[in-house]
């Protein structure tokens, strides 16, 4: 799985809706992965915050694939890649 490889670094990612929304609103994400099989209302919220913040997103993975990419045992509707600290 090439897509989502950035999520394998725990210090550079957040997983789960609350964390992704919080970091996106604070402009701390460089990319968001949104599960294509997430609930429609979650998809809409995430797409809106990404578009409002100009954050690129990838909606090609499933919840299961995002969970695996993050190294967690459950699926996740979304995950975000954090900006690197300078």
Strand 13-15, strand 57-58: pairing = unpaired
Give me the sheet containing 13-15, strands edge to edge: 13-15, 78-82, 29-34, 57-58
The pLDDT confidence band at residue 3, using thresholds 50, 70 and 90, is: low
DSSP character at residue 29: E
pLDDT tens track for 21-71: 999 999 999 999 999 999 999 999 999 999 999 999 999 999 999 999 999
In the chain, the domains with their CATH numbers are 5-82 (3.30.1330.30)
Per-residue confidence (pLDDT) for residue 1, from 0 to 100: 41
Q: Which residues of 37-53 are buried (b: 16+ CB within 10 A; e: fewer)?
A: ebeeebbebbeebbeee
């Amino acid at each position: 799985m090439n897509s989502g490889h950035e999520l394998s670094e725990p210090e550079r990612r957040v997983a789960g809706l609350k964390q992704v929304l919080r970091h996106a609103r604070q402009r701390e994400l460089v990319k968001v992965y949104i599960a294509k099989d997430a609930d429609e209302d979650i998809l809409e919220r995430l797409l809106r915050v990404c578009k409002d913040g100009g954050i690129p997103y990838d909606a090609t993975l499933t919840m299961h694939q995002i969970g695996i990419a993050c190294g967690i045992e459950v699926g996740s509707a979304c995950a975000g890649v954090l900006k690197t600290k300078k």
